[in-house]
Amino acid sequence: MDSNGAGAGAGDKEMRMLKQRVVDLEKENQLLKKSLFDLSVRFNAFIAANLKGASSHSAHSRTPNAFFYDLDALDDDAVIDSLVADDSFSTTTALPLSAIPGAPSLASSLDPAAVSVAVSTIANSIKKATDVTLDFAEPEIKTSSRETRHFYLKHELKGHSGAIYAIQYSPCGKYIATGSFDKSIRIWEGPSTTLSQKEVSILKRHTLNISDVCWSEDSTQLLSGAYDQTCKTWDIENGKYMDSYDCDGFVQCVMFNPIDKSQFYYGTTRNVLGLMDRRKPENALILRNDAMINSIHVYKDNSYVLTADSNGFLKTWDIRAGQPVQSVLNDQTRKPISHIAVCPMANAEEEPRYLGINSYDNVMRVYDRGLQPPETVPRMIHALKGHKNKNWPIKSSFHRLKEGLSMPKRASSHDELFGKGDDGVETSDKYSEPIMLLATGSADPYVYLYSLNSNQGSNDLLQRLEGHTDRVYATSFHPTEPILASCSADCTVKFWYSGRRKIPRQV
């Protein structure tokens, strides 16, 4: 047999082996799905047993309707595949409620402690039943030379013993707050160009995982929300707990009134948009949505609140009227929205014009709201891909670089990216439109950094930041300097610096 014939025979044999491997993997996949279905039955029985026991001690306990994973009804086996493929699923992480069919309605009637134990139990069972290594596809980054890597890893913070879900820089830029699955909030001294990081305080009063944190505008107080169905306030100047406020449902998001820190807003799994006045907590305002509220943004003048929900809608609520005045569907498939990010304006008093919307369809959309929202309908100007958001509560953040009419598809240097002219002086007076960086977490272990301008479709995946070892839940830019913080299921916080030695002055 000649060499060509031998090569063809070898190729056919390899093809047959590959086909057989596919068949074997498909059988294995079906067995895993059956195992997960059986686990869901055990999970349901576990919840019912816990609630039955608790009902004998509490007249307020309610037995929820039974629910199971309906494998035939899942969208492309989204939940099953995400569980099977997650090699790092452990007691430090938990599948978000919005990713489980039927869970939001069930969660509203469950005892949080029972849910926490049950989730940990089933997570450990899944971990033992599956041993699949994650295989992440490489995103397309057109230029990968060292010179174009605008951000690099500078610091790492360790201290949390569970996945870190929330992170936010204080408005003054001096501190950073993190909220974790370990039920604690930690305040860190934010690293600068000369100082190393330092833990300032550990805040412990919540009894379940922290879902969100928010600073007051003067950076003196912190607001936290958690799955223990409470919001809590903290005096950061003195490192002291202030008060706790009961909420209707697991708290998904929180935000202070920008002009009055005695008031704050929150969103819950029971479809509640709440306004709490800390001076008169008995007069709390409750607005009902038709879906779980995952993220909120309060307008600068406190006249409107923007919500993002599990049905994929962005709604603008008139607080005085107590109803939405605008509703925008983010995605035709109605995938849940996990987060709203806003890009700050040059004038800090102005309402942000640009929104970044994280969605479970793995597409991040950027909207232009115009100069006087909500009088105009938000216009989508970018659809960003590369990161992975499916079934996980991923969050993002903006950094405003400079004013500009346009931006090159890829900045060729840091001076070009950060707007520094040949004479070493920032060139912001030459431009009229903001240029932005948008950093998002991802269900893989990376931070994705996009460069954007105000022209529709003019965007680029600038850089993929590597350093975390598990999914990245959230990011937060320093309020004035190009320093990025990210938090992860690997229980660490990482700080990424601009490649330039001198931090550019912001406009």
* Tens digit of each residue's pLDDT (9 = 90 or more) over 206-219: 999 999 999 999 99
Supply the angle between the helices 112-129 and 3-55 in degrees, to the nearest 10: 160
Say if CB 328 and CB 308 are below 8 A apart. no
Say if CB 289 and CB 252 are below 8 A apart. no
CA angle 144, 469, 139 (to 5 degrees): 35
Residue 204 pLDDT more than 70?
A: yes
Residue 283 pLDDT more than 80?
A: yes
CA 46 – CA 52 distance, rounded (Å): 10
DSSP states of 345-407: PSSTTSPP-EEEEEETTS-EEEEE--SSTTSS--EEEEEE-SS--TTS---EEEEEEEE-S--
Q: Higher confidence at residue 419 or residue 132?
A: 419
Task: Let me know if 173 is exposed, middle or buried by CB neighbors in 10 A (0-12, 13-18, 19+).
Answer: middle
How many residues can be counted in the chain?
507
CA 293 – CA 270 distance, rounded (Å): 8
Residue 414 pLDDT more than 80?
A: no
Establish how many alpha carbons lie within 13 A of residue 263's alpha carbon, considering only the half-sphere containing its beta carbon: 15
Q: Give the rounded distance of the alpha carbon of 502 from its chain centre.
A: 30
Token pair belonging to 348: 């800090």
pLDDT bucket at 239, cuts 50 / 70 / 90: confident
**What is the overall mean pLDDT for the chain?**
77
pLDDT bucket at 120, cuts 50 / 70 / 90: low
Give the pairing type, strands 459-466 and 472-477.
Answer: unpaired
CA 360 – CA 392 distance, rounded (Å): 7
What is the chain's alpha carbon radius of gyration, rounded to the nearest angstrom? 24
Q: Is the N-terminal amide bond of 374 cis, ω within 30° of 0?
A: yes
Residue 98 pLDDT more than 80?
A: no
pLDDT bucket at 461, cuts 50 / 70 / 90: very high
CA 282 – CA 303 distance, rounded (Å): 21
Please give the pLDDT value at position 29.
62
Closest CA to 341 of 170, 447, 216, 474: 474
Residue 171 pLDDT more than 90?
A: yes
Say if CB 382 and CB 341 are below 8 A apart. no
DSSP code, position 197: -
Say if CB 325 and CB 317 are below 8 A apart. yes
Say if CB 130 and CB 84 are below 8 A apart. yes
Please give the pLDDT value at position 81.
40
CA 405 – CA 416 distance, rounded (Å): 14
Please give the pLDDT value at position 417.
53
CA 265 – CA 285 distance, rounded (Å): 9
Say if CB 289 and CB 271 are below 8 A apart. yes
Mean pLDDT of 451-456: 86
Please give the pLDDT value at position 310.
97
Task: Let me know if 137 is exposed, middle or buried by CB neighbors in 10 A (0-12, 13-18, 19+).
Answer: exposed
**Number of CB atoms found within 10 A of residue 158's CB:** 10
Neighbouring residues of 238: CB distance < 8 A, sequence distance ≥ 6: none
Q: Higher confidence at residue 359 or residue 69?
A: 359
Residue 103 pLDDT more than 80?
A: no
Say if CB 414 and CB 498 are below 8 A apart. yes
Closest CA to 223 of 274, 268, 265: 265
Q: Which residues face 428 on adjacent strands?
A: none
Residue 175 pLDDT more than 60?
A: yes
Alpha-carbon torsion angle 344, 347, 351, 352, nearest 10: -20
Token pair belonging to 242: 């202030």
Neighbouring residues of 49: CB distance < 8 A, sequence distance ≥ 6: none
Tens digit of pLDDT for each residue in 462-502?
999 999 999 999 999 999 999 999 999 999 999 999 875 44
pLDDT bucket at 194, cuts 50 / 70 / 90: very low
Give the pairing type, strands 434-440 and 446-452.
Answer: antiparallel
Please give the pLDDT value at position 376.
92
CA 477 – CA 19 distance, rounded (Å): 48
Instruction: Out of 51-65, 145-159, 415-429, 480-494, give the one with best mean pLDDT.
Output: 480-494
pLDDT bucket at 143, cuts 50 / 70 / 90: very low
Token pair belonging to 455: 């022209």
Q: What percent of the chain has pLDDT over 70?
A: 63
